[in-house]
Amino acid sequence: MTSLLGVAAIGYFGYRFARRAPRLRRSMPARAEHQHNAPPPTRAMIRGEAGEAAVRAELRRVLAGLCGNDFYLHDGAVLVQHAPGTAFPTAEIDHIAITPFGIFVIETKNWSGQIAPAANVDDVVRTGADGVAEVRRSPLAQNRTKVAFLNRKLPPVWPIEGLGVFAAADCTLHPDLPLPLIHINELALWLRQRRTDFGTARKKPVNVRVAWEAIMLNASTCDFEIDEHRKRLRTHAKDHANDAV
């Protein structure tokens, strides 16, 4: 009798697996095709990723000194779903640092040369070693819609601030740039000042775990979704609508 039950059980689970297997097999080629069709990284992409890695490492070092273990820094990009149903429904954040003294939305640039203010407040002027100047979008302008979205979704008692960090060693910043545009070497002092200001105001600390869970109600860290987001930007690279995503 026992052997009959064992055979029946094996047959049942074999049947269930056979029913499910086609779904798994159908999904695998799509994923493999997606990875196969991904474009090779450009020099700009490689340089950008190196800058993000440097800023992430410095953030982790500084926040560990300021907060101990009471902070959260996701190891990778975070995709916020800020405009569902539109041509650009998502926006990518390089780093979100969640601390007891605030939530920081950080855009990283690994540009060389001098960075100076432009005629338009939403731009900066980057001048290279060859003396050629070019206007580029300010990291603060890129962050604006992301910060506004999080402010709409999260409790107003949690401070949320955008920050632009320049990671290249051969980058210099003009003194007239807005204060939230800093070099990676200034990150420790900038965050320490924010922590001091928060303590002086005697505000209630941010609950780090609850804040991250609240952000993830309207965000994703899924590699596939991030790749799809970047594909949209490559397809419409010059559209004004994606300047801040």
Percent of the chain with pLDDT over 90: 60
Domain range for residue 55?
43-242
Q: Do residues 9 and 116 both lie within one domain? A: no
The count of other CB atoms within 10 Å of the CB of residue 136 is 13
Q: Is the pLDDT of residue 159 over 80?
A: yes
Q: Work out the average pLDDT over 166-177.
A: 97
Residue 7: per-residue pLDDT: 41
Contact 79/90 with Cβ under 8 angstroms?
A: yes
The tens digit of pLDDT for each residue in 94-146 reads 999 999 999 999 999 999 999 999 999 999 999 999 999 999 999 999 999 99
Q: Do residues 199 and 233 both lie within one domain? A: yes
Q: Is the pLDDT of residue 200 over 70?
A: yes
Q: Work out the average pLDDT over 211-227.
A: 87
Helices vs strands, H then E, count in the chain: 6, 12
Please, which pLDDT band fits residue 5 given cuts at 50, 70 and 90? very low
Q: Considering only 54-63, 193-202, 223-232, which range has the smallest mean pLDDT?
A: 223-232
What value does the CA radius of gyration of the chain take, rounded to a whole number of Å?
A: 23
Closest CA to 160 of 222, 119, 226, 211: 211
Q: Do residues 93 and 129 both lie within one domain? A: yes
How many Å apart are CA 245 and CA 238, to the nearest integer?
12
Q: Do residues 26 and 111 both lie within one domain? A: no
Q: Do residues 64 and 157 both lie within one domain? A: yes
CA distances from 115 to 112, 124, 168, 209 (A): 8, 7, 11, 36
Diameter of the chain measured on Cα atoms: 88
